[in-house]
Amino acid sequence: MAKGDDILALRAEIERLRGRVADLSTLIEVSALISSTLDLDRLIELVMEKAQAVMQAEASSVFLINEEIDRLECKVALGVVGKQIREIVQLKKGQGLAGWVWQHQKPLNVADVDRDRRFFRAIDEQSGFISRSILSVPLMVQDRLIGVAQVINRLDSRPFSEQDVDLFATFCRQVALAIDNARMHQFSLEQERLNLQLQLAERVQQSFLPQTLPGSGGDPFELAASSVPAVSVGGDFYDAVQLPDDLLALTIGDVSGKGIPAALFMARMMSDFRFYVQQDSQPLSLIEKLNSQVLQQTSSGLFVTMQVLIVNLRSGRVDFCDAGHLPILRIDAQSGIAQAIAGKGGGPLGIFPEMNFQTQSFQLQPEDCLFLYTDGLIEAQDAQRRAFSLDRLHESASRRWQNCDELLRALLDQVHRYSQGARQQDDMTALAFQWLPGNR
């Protein structure tokens, strides 16, 4: 009798070992599956098909945390009503068995859901599925929970065992790792796609800025300009357009915000400016038309600060209209003193249809310089987060300059040296002009 018992025990042990070998073989297959694809949805489905078969379960599901809404969402549900469950399940932390696992970050084996108050019955009621026993395991990546996996109803109607808990937990460690790897791959692809888009946007935006500035050896003026966005693309712009009757139109502007939306809006602003300035050389009417266009074109809350200057190249008279932009710096060629000329009246374009814009005028003397700039220069910060400031820019500009290129490079160098070691917070754009009537 004892010998018979030994034989039965031996057979049972052999069966147990065979089962363990089969489980190990399945885990090896799962490892191969994980290496076979980086498609997140397909990967989870393949692994859970294996898990469901090994756990001899009627159904299975994977819930992933949606951090934006702080909910568990059903990513994969296998079984006769899997499609319906995917469409209806969204759980709060602590809600249902999966929500409990999310909250406590440990496995939960419920032999009879009818006797467990934590069970979320609405899923069965809406899908028509009948849950009897459920094994839920957290999906952990290092010490971070990313979701919950479940197997539901053993096919033999028995509850899941502690051995099942250990085996499913082993599966879920691989599932969690696979999900994390697939997400990282997706993120890497998305970043690569975004970088390509930004590079294209940068090239397109740069094509809107003047490729060459007007002014040659025979013209009574010189120009120099620079624009460095804080990110790949930005909302700053400048332009210079020669007009009939020895007039030169200058503009500089700053679209609120950064990135692609600001860059697209900046491109439209430049197109509108070039169109209208060919029809009307009056700064006030130009600004009013541009304001009307901005109000018609955007509902996203973007606005634009801007200056339009019309320089009479024969007389040196400058008429300008300001829309909430920074003061113009006029540097006297004889004394080297920089004068800040602030605009009067209206605020930025795109806020109100009726704004009190005003035309102002001032007189240039031969070899005087003008310096137009955006707030990225004066708001540039040092390591202690102190701004460069308008006063410091004014002081740096106050000297006699050989030409406008020297003026531009020197002031930008001052700003860069000041902010060395600190991240650029905003686009930096500047336009320098010098009146040289003696060239003609």
More confident residue, 144 or 47: 144
pLDDT of residue 24: 47
Q: In this model, does residue 148 exceed pLDDT 60? A: yes
pLDDT of residue 17: 46
More confident residue, 143 or 393: 393
What phi, psi does 250 have (nearest 5°)? -120, 145
More confident residue, 289 or 196: 289
pLDDT of residue 70: 93
Q: What is the pLDDT of residues 248-261, one digit of tens each?
A: 999 999 988 777 77
Q: In this model, does residue 438 exceed pLDDT 80? A: no
Distance CA(68)–CA(71), nearest Å, equals: 8
pLDDT of residue 424: 82
Q: In this model, does residue 224 exceed pLDDT 90? A: yes
Q: What is the pLDDT of residues 281-332, one digit of tens each?
A: 999 999 999 999 888 876 567 889 999 999 999 999 999 999 999 999 999 9
Q: In this model, does residue 117 exceed pLDDT 60? A: yes
In a 13 Å sphere around the CA of 25, the CA atoms on its Cβ side amount to 8
DSSP string, 9-77: HHHHHHHHHHHHHHHHHHHHHHHHHHHH---HHHHHHHHHHHHHHHTTEEEEEEEEEETTTTEEEEEEE
pLDDT of residue 1: 47
Q: What proportion of the chain, given as a percentage, has pLDDT over 70?
A: 87
pLDDT of residue 383: 84
Distance CA(266)–CA(11), nearest Å, equals: 79
Amino acid found at 280: D
Residues 252, 240 contacting (CB under 8 angstroms) = no
Rounded average pLDDT over 141-165 = 91
Q: Provide the token pair at 61.
A: 């599901």
Q: Give the distance from CA 174 to its chain's centroid.
A: 31
Q: In this model, does residue 247 exceed pLDDT 50? A: yes
Residues 253, 306 contacting (CB under 8 angstroms) = yes
Query: Of the given ranges (137-151, 183-197, 253-267, 364-378), which has the lowest mean pLDDT?
Result: 183-197
Q: Which domains does the chain have, with CATH numbers?
A: 21-183 (3.30.450.40), 214-439 (3.60.40.10)
